[in-house]
Amino acid sequence: MTEAHSLILQDVTKVFQTPEGRTVTAADGISLQIAQGEFVTLLGPSGCGKTTTLRMIAGFEFPTSGRILLDGKDIANTPPNKREMGMVFQSYALFPHLTVFENIAYGLRLRRMSAADVTRIVDETMALVNLSGLEQRRPAALSGGQQQRVALARALAIRPKVLLFDEPLSNLDAKLRVALRSEIRQLQQRLGITSLYVTHDQAEAMSLSDRVVVMNGGRVEQVGAPAEVYRRPASRFVADFIGQANFLPVTATHVAEGQARVVCWDQSVVVPAHPALRDGPALLMVRPECARLCQAEDEQPAFVGVVQSATYVGSTVEYTVLSRDQTINIADHDSVWTRLFQVGDSVRWTFDPRRVYALSALSAEG
Amino acid sequence: MYLRAAPLIQRGCAPSLYLSTLSPMRLSRPLAPTIGWRRVWREYRALARDPLYLIALVAAALFVLAAILYPLIATLGQAASSEGARVLGDVLRRPVYHRIILNTLVMGLLVAGVGTGVGFLLAFVQVRVAAPAWLKRFIHLTALVPVVSPPFAVAVATIVLFGRSGLITYGVFGARTDIYGLPGLTIVMTLSFFTVAYLSLSGLLRGLDPAMDEAATNLGASRWHQFRTVTLPMLLPGLGSSFLLLFVEAVADLGNPLVLGGNFTVLATRLYLAIVGEYDLTSGSVLSVVLLIPSVLLYFLQWRLATRASVVTITGKPTGRVLLITDKRAVIPLVGAATAIALFIVLIYGTLLVGAFVMSLGVNNTFTLKNFEFVLLGYGAEAMIDTSFMSAIATPLAGVLGMVIAFLVVRGRFLGRSALDLGTMLGIAVPGTIFGIGYLLAFNNPTTLGGVTLIPKLTGGAAVLGGALAIVMVYVIRSTPAGLRAGVAALQQIDPAIEEASVSLGADQALTFRKVTLPLIRPAFFSGLIYAFARSMTTVSAILFLTTPETRIMTQQILNETEAGRFGNAFAYVVVLIAIVLVVIGLLSLLIGLSTGAEREAVQTP
């Protein structure tokens, strides 16, 4: 539909002054490149600076330092109403005194379009988000999902250079959230609009984005494709925040080319490793679904433990196993159809060495 | 500070307005479509099982019937008599009455328009414009001052400053201006009443989701465009409600037109003349009805609007911060105008203060304490003590009644709940003067039923306690609505599940109310008390007909001194009155401060 635009953040920092006079660094040296037509998500817990970063791009906050470039041009001095960035707000921020049609037409009328053009674009946009027929309703007469679509249509109608989403689905129920996020993704793919999305929901981030930016404490922890941040987290924080993970203390030896030999509780295995890993103490990330309880006696590596709890979920059986004073979470697929272990059973458990990841132990501090 | 949140700051009929910004307020829950008598019977039988509940309901109903509805019905009855019909014919035919009605309308519209404008300007500067914090604080505090002073204090000071021999008009500019009449009234009444508009509009402005503005900006709107197309339309119900409220207050006001009206006669002053000058209760009643019907209708219309205004934005949780207006081209005129208004208020009250300490302001500026001697030790002391004493009695009565009725209205399940709510609100919706007449008509003779005296003679000569009982009753009916609204707002924020939890743990209704509900609505109770005291001390129109030689009221004394031209005494009275109100507010706030903060936090839990 429109030609796409690129967005670059260079070392953007935002320091707030609290009313009590303390300073809070909400965003700390954020650097990021968003390519034309790319869908990037800022993911992190509340207070990690993701919303502040988004608002700086929209122009509602001014960076304390750093530069924001749109198509290579610094937009520091562009007021928010001239930035041509459509934003979808968490509270939707629909104008309650205007109809759906007028809400979507609001930005178009500001661009001095003819009435016919306004009507045409509003109609097109409403069809795009499956809202046709609701033109004359007021926002209060819409369901949450419909309100969200209006908010999206309103932002889309002005054909923004960049589309910004501030946790737009957090006020919807779980089912609707899943339905809408795939719609957003399809729409973005079809229109090819460069998009930046803020959320604290990792499933949302993974399913929507080309790339995920994991943030913590105002800093970027890792930038990567969803599979990459899941399989190869750069830090313990990322591993923990995206999905579940067990961390086994190991000693790394022979680190080379993304591989390392680690000694894990007296057993030695070769596993994928973080490029920054050095010989010495390290952490081995084991996702619950990458571990299982041994059905046979001869598997390697294998660790002994006692079942603390067993929950039959259906697709998996979720076990917690006490092994060397550490509680290990295991989501066992095999057990669903074969042998079910009981609480108190002495078991052996193992993991697939290709599906674990060795991290620097230093990052455990973070 | 607590004061800011307390509804005391709303002069007059305002409480519903401001409180409604805190929580969506409903007049009542919709009743089930069919009201079978069996159901009604079941409801009341269920009530009767809980004696405390029943006593509360009976007391509240008696209060509304005897103190509010009975005097109003007496007034309506007098107006509907054959003599009343003749007067009504007069009012409808004679041009002199047309003139009076037109005057009243024009004055009401002017005051409502200017007052809402001033209130909005101050609210907008307060919430949306970048200005030094101390300046905003200064503007805020000066905007609150008119609440604690008797309504016509401003009028008196205005005469001294801008009258024929005004310190400013004649003293500085040498002009013999005529402040009496419409222009003077508009200025003075605007200053007396705009606080309500200011408080409700700043509440509404604060309640607007900042994301709404950001959305407009994000779509390309300039500040001005966004103000025109988003902020203003969203505030329309609030502006409308302020306008109506100020209109009702302006046409009901008696004190200012008496002092400053001159030849400009309005319904309230004509009514006063009919009673005090001609002792013609029939004319008074007819004029009351002419004033009553539009006042009450408009009051309840504004109530509905205020309710709408408060629920205008609610989807999801508000995010973002308000971006204050920093453009010098907008900031300078807006802040300049707001500061000028604040300085004008300071000038007015400064004049009062200085005037209280000199022989005769502008004529003989020698320092003296004789004005205060008169008020504190001399003839005026009795009025001061009487007024404070009666207000102190009315305050807890109004406070408790307000909470009890609020509880019945919000939590009760019985037919007539909304009637109880509306009946109580009539206490403030009806102009005070009309209650004055109503009380004269209803209580000038003992009320008897089958030879048994139900209510003794409350007004006029030889009345019970020199008429003090009637005055306290009027104080109570005028202040209970504020407590009621505060209580309703507080109760609606408390999830009924909290009370149900208490009952399920074994407590009965009474214990639950005492141990759970009461602590949670205590802040509302205290703010109701503060309002009741301030209101009682400054009431004029409702009690002018009810004072007797035995009971003197400060506000009436101020009026007498003003009419006699003894401005020094009037000023001293005003200063003492404001001081008493402030001291009592201070004491009550201290009490609130002493109670733990837990209840306020708890109320906020969803």
pLDDT category, B595, cuts 50, 70, 90?
Answer: low
Q: Which range (B9-23, B76-90, B245-259, B321-335) has the least confidence?
A: B9-23
A280-303 as b/e: b if 16+ CB within 10 A: eebbbbbbbbbbbbbeeeeeeebb
Closest-approach residue (CA) in chain A for B236 = A97
Please tell me the predicted confidence (pLDDT) of residue B21. Answer: 34
Alpha helices by DSSP H, listed for B539-566, are: 554-563
- Closest CB to B220 among A90, A91, A158: A158
Q: Distance from A163 to chain B by nearest Cα, in Å?
A: 11
CA distances from A122 to A195, A203, A313, B405 (A): 21, 31, 46, 51
Which of the listed residues B312, B340, B355 is the one where a domain comes to its end? B355
> For the segment B413-468, what is each residue's pLDDT rounded down to a tens digit?
777 888 899 899 998 888 888 888 888 888 877 776 666 666 777 776 666 666 78
Same domain as B338, residue B264:
yes
pLDDT at B602: 37
* Amino acid of residue B7: P
pLDDT for the residue numbered B320: 60
Other Cβ atoms within 10 Å of A364 Cβ, number: 15
pLDDT confidence of residue B313: 44
Specify burial of residue B466 (Cβ count, 10 A radius: 0-12, 13-18, 19+). Answer: middle
Residues from A in contact with B at Cβ < 8 Å = 51, 55, 58-60, 80-87, 89-98, 106-107, 110-111, 139, 144, 147, 154-155, 158, 166, 170-171
- Identify whether the C-beta of residue B539 lies closer than 8 Å to the C-beta of residue B475: yes
Domain contains B63: no
What percent of chain B has a predicted confidence (pLDDT) above 90?
Answer: 20
The model's confidence at residue B373, banded by pLDDT at 50, 70 and 90, is confident
Q: Which letter does DSSP use for residue A245 in this model? A: -
Are B315 and A86 an interchain contact pair (Cβ–Cβ within 8 Å)?
no
Say if B380 falls within a structural domain.
Answer: no
pLDDT for residue A328: 94
B308: contact with A, CB 8 A cutoff: no
* B222 vs A: CB within 8 A: yes
Contact list, B220 vs chain A (CB under 8 Å): 81-82, 84, 107, 110-111, 158
CA A96 to chain centre: 31
* B527 band by pLDDT with thresholds 50, 70 and 90: confident
Q: Are residues B201 and B311 in the same domain?
A: yes
Three-state secondary structure call for residue A3: coil
Is the residue at B563 inside a domain? Answer: no
Q: Say whether A147 and B315 touch across the interface (CB within 8 A).
A: yes
Signed CA dihedral, B313, B315, B321, B327: sign only: negative
Backbone angles phi, psi at B184, to 5 degrees: -60, -45
Q: How far is CA B375 from CA A85, B365, B372, B380, in A?
A: 68, 19, 5, 4
Distance CA A313, CA A308 (A): 16
Q: Do A106 and B229 touch (CB under 8 A)?
A: yes
Give pLDDT, residue B31.
44
The pLDDT of residue B14 is above 60 = no
Task: For residues B113 and B4, state if they share a domain.
Answer: no
pLDDT of residue B540: 84
CA-to-CA separations, B366 to A19, A73, B372, in angstroms, rounded: 48, 72, 14
Helix (H, G, I), strand (E, B) or coil at B317: coil
Find, among B20, B11, B4, the residue nearest to B302 by Cα.
B20
| A92: nearest CB among B218, B225, B316 | B316
User: Which tokens hold the place of B451?
Assistant: 């030879």
Per-residue pLDDT of B153-210, as tens digits, reads: 888 888 888 877 777 777 677 776 777 889 889 999 999 899 989 988 988 888 888 8
User: Do B217 and B328 lie in a common domain?
Assistant: yes
Domain boundary among B320, B355, B390: B355
| A19 CA: distance to closest CA in chain B (Å) | 12
Neighboring chain A residues of B217 at a CB cutoff of 8 Å: 59-60, 80-81
- Does residue B271 fall inside a structural domain? yes
Q: In this predicted structure, what is the pLDDT of residue B47?
A: 67
Does the beta-carbon distance from B220 to A87 stay under 8 Å? no
Question: Are B225 and A60 in contact (CB < 8 Å)?
Answer: no
pLDDT at residue B600 is higher than 50? no
Contact B265, B100 (CB under 8 A): yes
pLDDT digits (tens, 9 = 90+) for B210-263: 888 889 989 989 888 999 998 888 888 889 888 988 998 899 888 889 888 888
What is the per-residue pLDDT across A351-360, written as a single tens digit (0 to 9) for each? 999 999 999 8
Same domain, B199 and B340: yes
Read off the pLDDT of each residue in B22-38 and give the average, rounded to a whole number.
47
Confirm whether B301 is domain-assigned: yes
Confidence of residue B20 (pLDDT cuts 50, 70, 90): very low
| Tokens coding B556 | 């009436």
Residue with tokens 């030879």: B451
Residues of B in contact with A96 (CB under 8 A): 234, 312-313
Contact A87 B215 (CB under 8 A): yes
Give mean pLDDT, residues B296-312: 75
Higher pLDDT, B234 or B321: B234
Q: What is the mean pLDDT of residues B573-592?
A: 87
CB atoms within 10 A of CB B182: 16
**Interatomic CA distance for residues B78 and B587, integer angstroms:** 44
Say whether A89 and B211 touch across the interface (CB within 8 A): yes
Give the DSSP H/E element, type plus range, for residue A305: strand A303-312
pLDDT of B389 over the 70 cut: yes
Residue B242's domain comprises 94-355
Within 10 A of A91 (CB to CB), how many other CB atoms are there? Answer: 25
Task: Among B336, B355, B374, give the residue marking a domain's end.
Answer: B355
Residue B253 lies in a domain: yes
Statement to judge: residues B14 and B160 lie in one domain? no
Yes or no, beta carbons of A158 and B209 under 8 Å apart: no
* Res B34: pLDDT: 53
- Residue B365 belongs to some domain of the structure: no
**CA–CA separation, B221 and A81 (whole Å):** 6
pLDDT digits 0-9 by tens, B500-520: 777 777 777 777 777 788 888
Q: Which residues lie closer than 8 Å to A113 by C-beta, 6 or more apart?
A: A121
Q: What stretches in chain A show pLDDT beneath 70?
A: 1-2, 362-366
Nearest CA in chain B to A147: B315
Q: Do A171 and B217 touch (CB under 8 A)?
A: no
Nearest residue on chain A to B213, alpha-carbon basis: A93
Q: Which residues pair with A328 in a beta bridge?
A: A321
Q: How far is A138 from chain B (nearest CA, A)?
A: 11
Q: What percentage of chain B carries pLDDT values higher than 70? A: 86
The answer for B 202-221 residues in CB contact with A (under 8 A) is 209, 211-212, 214-221
Predicted pLDDT at B319? 53
Is B214 in Cβ contact with A89 (below 8 Å)?
yes
ipTM: 0.79
Q: Is residue B57 part of a domain?
A: no
Q: Do B323 and A60 touch (CB under 8 A)?
A: yes
Does residue B133 belong to the interface with chain A, where contact is any CB pair within 8 Å? no
Count residue pairs from A and B with Cβ separation < 8 A. Answer: 94
Distance from CA of A122 to the nearest CA of B (A): 14
Nearest to B225 among A86, A110, A155 (CB): A110
Task: Specify the pLDDT at position B396.
Answer: 92
For A178, the 3-state DSSP assignment is helix
Same-domain pairing of B226 and B348: yes
Q: Cβ distance B309 to B23 under 8 Å?
A: no
Instruction: Dig out the tokens for A333 from the structure.
Output: 């697929």
Instruction: Quote the minimal CA–CA distance from A265 to chain B in Å.
Output: 49
Mean pLDDT of chain B, nearest integer: 81
Q: Kindly list the residues from chain B whose CB atom is less than 8 angstroms away from the CB atom of residue A144.
A: 315
- Residues from chain A that touch B321, judged by Cβ atoms under 8 A, are 60
**A contact test, residue of B219, B236, B321, B327 with most A CBs within 10 A:** B219
Q: Cα B496 vs. chain centroid, distance in angstroms?
A: 30
CATH of the domain at B277: 1.10.3720.10
Nearest CA in chain A to B222: A81
Residues A239-279 pLDDT 10s: 999 989 999 999 998 888 888 999 988 888 999 999 888 88
pLDDT value of residue B460: 66
**How many other CB atoms are found less than 10 A from the CB of residue B179?**
20
Helix/strand/coil for A49 = coil
Rounded distance between C-alpha atoms, residue B249 and residue B17, angstroms: 14
Q: How far is A272 from chain B (nearest CA, A)?
A: 42
Interchain contact, A93 vs B214, CB within 8 Å: yes
- Are B26 and B99 within one domain? no
Q: A170 to chain B: which residues are within 8 Å by CB?
A: 316
Measured between beta carbons, which residues in chain B are less than 8 angstroms from residue A58? Answer: 214, 218
Q: Is A106–B219 a contact, with Cβ atoms under 8 angstroms apart?
A: yes
Distance CA B562, CA B572 (A): 11
Q: Give me B112's structure tokens.
A: 């409502």
Best mutation target, B315, B323, B327, to test chain A (most A CBs within 10 A): B315
For chain B, the domain total comes to 2
- Same domain flag for B184 and B307: yes
Q: Is the CB of A106 less than 8 angstroms away from the CB of B214?
A: no
Residues A206/A64, Cβ–Cβ less than 8 Å:
no
pLDDT computed for residue B327 by the predictor: 84
What is the DSSP code string of A66-103?
Answer: EEEEETTEE-TTS-GGGS-EEEE-TT----TTS-HHHH
Among A89, A118, A138, A149, which would you mutate to test the B interface (most chain B Cβ atoms within 10 Å of its Cβ)? A89
Q: What is the pLDDT of residue B463?
A: 67
